[in-house]
Amino acid sequence: MTISSSPTTTRRNVLGGTAALVASGLAGASAAPARARPDGAGPRIGIVLYDGFSLLDPTGPAEVLSRVPGARVTMLAEQPGPVRTDTGDVAVVAEQALAEVDSLDVLLIPGAGNRGTVASTQNPALLQWIRDIDRTTAWTTSVCTGAVILAAAGLLSGRQATTYWAAGPYLQSTYGVTYLPQRYVRSGKYVTAAGVSAGIDMALYLAALLTDDDTARAIQLGIEYDPQPPFDAGNAGRASEELRGRAETLLQQSQQ
C-alpha cells in the first residue's frame, strides 16, 4: 500500500484508512477480526466528567478507545455541556447526562485534584449511578484518583488496584484496597490505572481485551504512542523525597 504525499493526504485520511484495514482484518496476516457485541455493534464506552477532573485522564483513554472498531465513546456528566478541568483553563463537553444512560459495556472514571476527587466521593447520586451502571458493564475502569471514587462507591473493597502515587496510601488505608504501584492493575472486571498518563497504557490494555492484541498494537501505532520523555523522572518509586514534594506542590498550585 502506497500513501501519497499529495496535499490531500491528511492525518485523518491515513488514520481512517488504517482503522478500516484493522476492522476488516487486513492490517496484517496475523490480525484477527475484532470481537463485536451480538447485535453487531462495538462496545458502548462511557467516560464520566465532573468538575475538577484532570484533562488527560479521560481524553488520553478516549483517544485510544475511540479507535476500537465499532466503539462508541461518550463523555457523560450530571448535566450535558462543558465541564472544567482541575486547572480551570480547559473544558470538555459532556454529550449526555448520567440520568440518560442506564447501561454501558465499559465505564471509565477519571481522576482529579483534591477538590474534584473529594467532591465526587461525597456525591451520593454520582456514587449510586456508578454502582447501578457497574451492574451492567463488562469492564469498569479508572484513571488516577478515579480509583478512589470507585472505592467510595464500594466497588474495590478487598481488591488490588492502583491510583496516583500520592493517593495510594489513602486508597489502601481508607477503603481496604491493596494498592499496587503499577501502571495498571486488573482485578476481575475492574481495571485501574496509575496517574494521568498511565490511562493511555490502561486503555491500550483494555483495547486488547475488547478486541485482540494485534488490533491494540495497530491502535498504538496509529496514535504513534512511543513515549520517550526527556527526563527519567516519572516513577515515584525512584524519585527523591524532594522531587516528590516539588511535584505535589506544582500540581496543587496549578489547581483551582
**DSSP category for residue 208:** H
Q: Which residues pair with 94 in a beta bridge?
A: 81
Residue among 103, 5, 109, 138 at smallest CA distance from 50: 109
Residue among 162, 155, 109 at smallest CA distance from 132: 155
17's grid cell: 484508512
Q: Read out DSSP for 23-91?
A: HHT-S-TT--PPP--TTS---EEEEE--TTB-THHHHHHHHHHTTSTT-EEEEEESSSEEEEBTTSS-E
Is-catalytic flag, 144? yes
Selecting among 83, 144, 151, 219, the annotated active-site residue is 144
171's grid cell: 486508597
The count of C-alpha atoms lying within 13 angstroms of the C-alpha of 23, restricted to the half-sphere facing its C-beta, is 16
Active-site residue numbers?
A: 144
